[in-house]
Amino acid sequence: MRLKEIDFSEVGQFSSRDKDYTLYPEKFNDFLAYPFEFEAFEKIIENRQRINTDRVLLASQLERQYKGVASSQLTSKRIELLKADSTFTIVTAHQPCLLTGPLYYIFKILSCLNLADKLKLEFSDKDFVPVFILGAEDHDFEEINHLQVFGKKLEWSNEAMGAVGRRSTEGINEIIENLSSILGEKTEIKDLLSGFRDDLQNASDYADFSFRITHRLFDRFGLLILRMDEKPFKYAFRSAIKEEIFNSPSQALIESYQDKLSELGYSKQAHAREINFFYHCGAGRKRIIQEADSFKIVDTNLSFTRAELAEEIDTHPENFSPNVIMRPLFQEYNLPNLAYIGGGGELAYWMERKSQFDHFGIPFPMLIRRNSAMITDERTLKQIDAMGLSCEDFFKDEHEIVKKYLELSDQPDYKLDQYISSLADVFSDMDERIKNIDPTLVKTSQSELAKTTKSIEQIEFRLKKRIKQKEEVQLNRIAKLKEKLFPGGLQERKVSIFEFMSSYGENLLDEMLPHMDVFSKSLKVFIPEKKGQ
């Protein structure tokens, strides 16, 4: 595999906040517990060792979730290692996207795996376990119900309500078969697709299915996949649930940090409510609101007194689901974690959280920007090179790429700016003479300059249009290459990993993993080789 790296500063598709955190993390020091640098881990480990985590609970839940699922020795060993005080986690998380969804689902996990291995090399007397949290409690079905392969969108229909992870797997079989049909008989991942069919048969619900297919992809790397929508985890968190519901501390704390970030020019990311928990019930996952002395479940007839709700939290904590404001605290509370790896948008809302973590007495992890990457092939890069362009050029707007290509082409130079400049000099000299005879005519002279300049610009536009007609084949090629590399936006936000695995096989993950250094401050462009080349 060949690798190209594009500096973050050259990727116009990233937000200014995203670039700033990666390139100038010191700007955010007031919102972080630790700087975004590898050297900070020594201090993080030292501090984290002083804080107890219920490791028995964590290990027992993982053992239960993995029961009956064939696992590698490394995966099983890492579950056991979590029982030791010298073991820490590196965490990433995502919703259970359909068949892993877009590429960044995969890139998050590879980033997590790479960092855990790097930490073990640096701190050999400790152990570091990569953990992927499957955020299966969200109820925004439209965010997770599709994937894109070779420009075709596969969409799962399911009429159930509530948390996506608690839905049945009805309709998933059709998605797998459609994916198999698109990839064709010669796909390199025929066995993998067959394994997905087995996973579907064995899955109890959609969260379990997502767990199984992610495990199938990453078990050999020792990734632990954790589902936190479990009664024991929520029971352990019940004091925080009560604090948030009855005292509502999060809203003011987060809004205060949002105001500070606004002063730096960054907009707020998450809307903090008075109560930041949902309630699971037959009608779905519904908000909890307080009206006078009652706590009501929105869009239902359910209502609790304070005492009744406190008892419900103690006896049925599984019914309480954290929203985006409380989810980070819930996952960090139950893990001996050092760092959270997320995308730019995720880290933006994590930066609003530090004072909230302090209030609840939960350690705030290092925030790490996941790797961004693109996968392409040698043929595409050769086509780009043949036009005198570079891969970096294609991160610009298409009109900028065309402009550069036309400047480099062997067509006559269509630009007439030198004549406009000369004309300005002529009129400037003329204005000086006019001024000495009749100053009132200077305005007329300047008006004539503007008209003549506009006429020359129109001629230049027509010359450029004529050259573009002559270069139509190449300009169409530029448009197609742009769409191939950026199918409606950054490739990692649109395209499924299976589009590339179909050609390069499952080992594509193994080949990308060593390059997924989260501290490299670059977007990776992977150019894998097909088997036999």
The yes-or-no verdict on residue 414 having pLDDT over 60 is no
pLDDT digits (tens, 9 = 90+) for 366-411: 999 999 999 999 999 999 999 899 999 999 999 999 888 878 875 5
- Mean pLDDT check: name the lowest of 44-48, 154-158, 280-284, 466-470: 466-470
227: closest CA among 210, 242, 241?
210
The Cα-based distances of 49 to 52, 392, 489 in angstroms read: 7, 44, 42
pLDDT at residue 469, as a whole number: 67
Q: What is the mean pLDDT of residues 458-481?
A: 77
The DSSP secondary structure of 120-174, one letter per residue, reads HHH-TTSEEEEEEEE-TT---HHHHSEEEETTEEEE------S-GGGS--TTHHH
pTM of the full structure = 0.89
Provide the strand spans (E) within 386-520. Answer: none
pLDDT at residue 139, as a whole number: 85
Task: Measure the CA–CA gap between 292 and 166, rounded to whole angstroms.
Answer: 32
| Average pLDDT along the chain | 93
- Taking each helix axis from N to C end, the angle separating 398-408 and 442-470, rounded to the nearest 10 degrees, works out to 80
pLDDT at residue 64, as a whole number: 97
What's at 329, amino acid-wise? L
pLDDT at residue 467, as a whole number: 65
Biggest CA–CA distance in the chain, Å, is: 99
Which residues in 317-352 are b (16+ Cβ under 10 Å) and which e? bebbbbbebbbbbbbbbbbbbbbbbbbbebbbbbbb
**Cα torsion 503, 506, 512, 517: sign:** positive
Percent of the chain with pLDDT over 90: 82
pLDDT at residue 126, as a whole number: 98
Sequence-distant (6+) residues with CB within 8 A of 377 are 527, 528
pLDDT at residue 491, as a whole number: 97
pLDDT digits (tens, 9 = 90+) for 433-447: 888 877 888 788 888
The yes-or-no verdict on residue 234 having pLDDT over 90 is yes
CB 250 within 8 A of CB 322: no
pLDDT at residue 115, as a whole number: 98
The yes-or-no verdict on residue 412 having pLDDT over 60 is no
pLDDT at residue 59, as a whole number: 97
What's at 172, amino acid-wise? I
pLDDT digits (tens, 9 = 90+) for 305-342: 999 999 999 999 999 999 999 999 999 999 999 999 99
Q: What is the mean pLDDT of residues 491-501?
A: 97
pLDDT digits (tens, 9 = 90+) for 97-129: 999 999 999 999 999 999 999 999 999 999 999
Helix, strand, or coil (residue 374) = strand
The yes-or-no verdict on residue 429 having pLDDT over 90 is no
The yes-or-no verdict on residue 282 having pLDDT over 90 is no
Name the one residue in this structure whose structure tokens are 């004549």.
419
Task: Measure the CA–CA gap between 128 and 104, rounded to whole angstroms.
Answer: 22
